[in-house]
Chains A and B, each alone.
Chain A
Amino acid sequence: MSLVPGMGIVRGMGLTLRRFFAPKATIKWPEQQADVAPKFRGRLQLLYDEYGTLKCETCFQCAQACPIECIDMGGIDTKGRFHVHWGPPETYGERREESAIRRSGRPVADAAFRRFDPIDTAALDAILERHDYDPMAMLAILEETQAEYGYLPVGALKHISRITGAWYAMIYGTATYYRHLRFEPPTVDAAPAGEAHRAIEHAYRSALDASLGVGGRAG
């Protein structure tokens, strides 16, 4: 308002002078402790190493420790196959994505969030009966289920869990561990036994040969 020359700088310096004598936010840590909420754990940050690779191991220790469950993450497992989550995998994606859509204001399309495709369990029941509903034969049950359906549908795993009493998490763990068990329909029909692992082993053998300069393959 005022048109007096130099008034702006006087006002600015006045603010500086007031702040100069005001109490400070800086404290002499660690002699002095800041007054923060006991749950406060600092700023969340994902770190990269000097080559630009994400340092996070997806070990979920942070997600496990988080008291208000604000940390989630998704990734692929060590076999490069499947998304991993903290929490029950079959509900996780649904919860996350649905809430994200709701917050964006769009209507939630129910059909897209069916938990899993329903399957015809008659063949699966026959397999389970053959094994006497015994969880100790789980690997054979899973292999035969895969032979029947072509892959392991989530519905089949749920059904096996409900009928045999084995925990879904245990069945899921077994099914993700072995390379020949898959969760998607196969891209080639009727892969022979051991095919899933053989590709990796063949890659190892040829890499070994190449690095040794050995041409032929052993017996």
Chain B
Amino acid sequence: MGAFLSTPKAWPAVLTGRVAALASDPGDLDAAVRAGAFEGLRVAVRDLGATGTIATVASSGLRGRGGAGFPAGEKWRAAANGPAGTRYVVANGYGADPAVRTDATLMAADPWIVVEGLAIAAFAIGATEAIIAVRAEDTALVTRLEGAILAAEEAGYLGDDMLGSGHGVTITVRPVQGAYMLGEETVLLKALEGKRGQPEQRPPFPTERGLFGMPTVVNNVQTLAAVPFIVRDRGAAFSAIGAPGSPGTILVQLRGPEGAGIAEVPLGTPLRELVKLAGGIGSRSLKALLVGGPTGGLLPADLLDTPYDFDSLRAVGAHIGSGSVVIADDRACVVDLARLLTKFSADEACGKTIPCRIGLRRLYEIGDRVASGRPKPTDMALMADLAADVVASGLCDHERLATLPFTSGMRYFRSELDDHLLRSTCPAGVCHPIAVGAGASTPGSR
């Protein structure tokens, strides 16, 4: 599982720092402790206390790595301030994007960092139950995590009396499967409750009424993995890494014509550097970057200097999303790509709200008729209207973001869309539009 790409020496390794030391056996507790595991938990329990830990995480500026970028410290504080009773912490390691394996790879290479982050979070908000949700098909990963939790309990790091703090936490691994939407936090909670996976209206947020109606913190695996580093150095070293608005590092799944892999990069790294990490673009010219997975935005080559962080990407019409960056050269067609992504989003929609269930389906159908050479003259305006309506009336981020492939395509690749719409041609030669002009009725490739 040594699947991490090597990054420049100067780049900090917050998440993957221990991977090399654990390369021979990631399940070895002694080796992990020698490499610094559970030091953060010790600092949190002995020196900081629960409120001190939350304050440290809040001051470090850690933002949720699940895609939305919500400040983790605020989330913890909201849950900690809730009414007393059972509280839950859930580590979301489902990793919904089928082309991205960052979370699972991290947990397999260093299960301790996630377990420790989860223990610190549970200690900070006063949760007695912690759950790691992983994909059911990763049976090896489930076994490894369960082994790690058992070993840590026997060594006294977890269990009824965590490091002598008097606070007890039970960590369970819950394999979940069967739907793409499980990556969304309220959907994951529904699945853990044994209900159908459909998102809930917010507020109330899960920090107020979450799993089984109790205050629940749902954090991505990478968010929790950054917590030990933050607590160990009291947040100062972490804030220094990355962009001002979004400190820290993130795992990126790169995929390009010349190479692919997972790399840990500081937030705020320009997209150009990410392309270089993936082996460059080869002899062809770069056409578009798909940033953010199936619901990501398509960015043109002249936006390569955009920093890879939450706010900058949102501003240009993309998002961190699943942490996937796909490099497309001039063989790719933007309309075809956006159609494929929208179809995936529409197929995977849970069907709770009408803008998502019907709106995304219609968006795909309009894109499909544009790509197959049967466009209507008003299709561009229709797509823009429909996308705006879906965004305005969406319930969860899935549908709001699922319009991004087409909206960013219309924003940056207008001439290519015009070729499809007005001239029924595909510059990349991917789509096979039928020539509808001049009464021609035979299908032609160009």
In Å, the complex CA distance between A202 and B344 comes to 12
> B164 an interface residue at 8 Å Cβ cutoff?
no
B331 touches A213 (CB 8 A): yes
> B58 an interface residue at 8 Å Cβ cutoff?
no
Q: Which residues of A contact B101 (CB under 8 A)?
A: 218-219
B194 touches A212 (CB 8 A): no
Q: Which B151-192 residues have C-beta < 8 A from chain A?
A: 175-180, 191-192
B344 touches A198 (CB 8 A): no
Chain A CB count within 10 A is highest, among B98, B197, B257, B350, for: B98
Q: Which residues of B contact A181 (CB under 8 A)?
A: 178
> A82 an interface residue at 8 Å Cβ cutoff?
no
> B333 an interface residue at 8 Å Cβ cutoff?
yes
A212 touches B197 (CB 8 A): no
- Count residues on chain A whose CB falls below 8 Å from chain B CBs: 42
Q: Give the shortest distance, in Å, between B297 (CB) and chain A (any CB).
A: 15
> A16 an interface residue at 8 Å Cβ cutoff?
no
Also in contact, A211 and B261, with CB within 8 A (given A138-B195, A218-B101) = no
Residue in B196, B212, B294, B369 whose beta carbon sits within 8 Å of that of A174 in the complex: B196
Q: Which residues of A contact B336 (CB under 8 A)?
A: 211
Q: Which residues of B contact A173 (CB under 8 A)?
A: 195-196
A194 touches B294 (CB 8 A): no
B177 touches A180 (CB 8 A): yes
B43-51, B69-77, B135-143, B240-248 - the one binding chain A: B135-143
> B255 an interface residue at 8 Å Cβ cutoff?
yes
In Å, the complex CA distance between A200 and B369 comes to 23
Residue in B260, B294, B326, B350 whose beta carbon sits within 8 Å of that of A204 in the complex: B294
Also in contact, A192 and B137, with CB within 8 A (given A212-B328, A218-B101) = yes
A141 touches B194 (CB 8 A): yes
> B89 an interface residue at 8 Å Cβ cutoff?
no
Chain B CB count within 10 A is highest, among A178, A205, A211, for: A211
A219 touches B260 (CB 8 A): yes
Q: Which residues of A contact B407 (CB under 8 A)?
A: none
> A140 an interface residue at 8 Å Cβ cutoff?
yes
B98 touches A214 (CB 8 A): no
Q: Which residues of B contact A78 (CB under 8 A)?
A: 349, 351, 357
Q: Which residues of A contact B35 (CB under 8 A)?
A: none
Also in contact, A178 and B177, with CB within 8 A (given A136-B193, A140-B194) = yes
By beta carbon, the residue of chain A nearest B347 is A200
Also in contact, A218 and B261, with CB within 8 A (given A140-B194, A212-B326) = yes
Would you give the 0/1 interface string for B106-144, flagging 1 where the beta carbon is closer than 8 Å to chain A? 000000000000000000000000000001110100000
Q: Which residues of B contact A212 (CB under 8 A)?
A: 257, 326, 328-329, 331-332, 337
A177 touches B326 (CB 8 A): no
- Count residues on chain B whose CB falls below 8 Å from chain A CBs: 52
Q: Which residues of B contact A83 (CB under 8 A)?
A: none
Q: Give the shortest distance, in Å, between A207 (CB) and chain B (any CB).
A: 6
Count of A-B contacts judged by CB separation below 8 Å: 117
B137 touches A193 (CB 8 A): yes
By beta carbon, the residue of chain B nearest A207 is B340
> A137 an interface residue at 8 Å Cβ cutoff?
yes
Q: Which residues of B contact A195 (CB under 8 A)?
A: 137
Q: Which residues of B contact A139 (CB under 8 A)?
A: 176, 191-192, 194
> B430 an interface residue at 8 Å Cβ cutoff?
yes
Q: Which B318-337 residues have C-beta < 8 A from chain A?
A: 326, 328-329, 331-333, 336-337
B98 touches A204 (CB 8 A): yes
> A208 an interface residue at 8 Å Cβ cutoff?
yes
Residue in A176, A192, A211 whose beta carbon sits within 8 Å of that of B337 in the complex: A211
> A179 an interface residue at 8 Å Cβ cutoff?
yes
In Å, the complex CA distance between A136 and B332 comes to 47
Residue in B136, B256, B337 whose beta carbon sits within 8 Å of that of A194 in the complex: B136
Q: Which residues of B contact A100 (CB under 8 A)?
A: none
Q: Which residues of A contact B340 (CB under 8 A)?
A: 207-208, 211
In Å, the complex CA distance between A178 and B182 comes to 10
> A216 an interface residue at 8 Å Cβ cutoff?
yes
> B295 an interface residue at 8 Å Cβ cutoff?
no
By beta carbon, the residue of chain B nearest A134 is B194
In Å, the complex CA distance between A193 and B369 comes to 37
In Å, the complex CA distance between A140 and B3 comes to 32
> B223 an interface residue at 8 Å Cβ cutoff?
no
In Å, the complex CA distance between A173 and B261 comes to 38
> A150 an interface residue at 8 Å Cβ cutoff?
no
In Å, the complex CA distance between A195 and B333 comes to 31
Also in contact, A213 and B257, with CB within 8 A (given A179-B179, A194-B135, A219-B3) = yes
B178 touches A179 (CB 8 A): yes
By beta carbon, the residue of chain A nearest B139 is A193
Would you give the 0/1 interface string for A71-111, flagging 1 where the beta carbon is closer than 8 Å to chain B? 00000001000000000000000000000000000000000
> A189 an interface residue at 8 Å Cβ cutoff?
no
Closest 7 CB pairs of A and B: A194-B137, A138-B194, A178-B178, A201-B98, A177-B196, A218-B260, A213-B331
28 examples of A-B residue contacts, CB within 8 angstroms: A136-B193, A138-B195, A139-B192, A170-B195, A173-B195, A174-B194, A177-B196, A177-B198, A177-B350, A178-B178, A178-B191, A178-B196, A180-B136, A180-B177, A194-B136, A194-B137, A194-B178, A195-B137, A198-B137, A200-B98, A202-B98, A204-B344, A208-B326, A211-B340, A212-B329, A213-B257, A214-B256, A219-B101
List residues of B whose CB falls within 8 A of some A CB. Answer: 3, 98-99, 101, 105, 135-137, 139, 175-180, 191-198, 212, 253-257, 260-262, 294, 326, 328-329, 331-333, 336-337, 340, 344, 347-351, 357-358, 369, 430
List 12 extra interface pairs beyond A178-B191, A197-B180, A204-B294, CB under 8 A. A138-B193, A139-B176, A178-B179, A181-B178, A194-B178, A196-B178, A204-B344, A208-B340, A211-B333, A214-B256, A214-B257, A218-B101
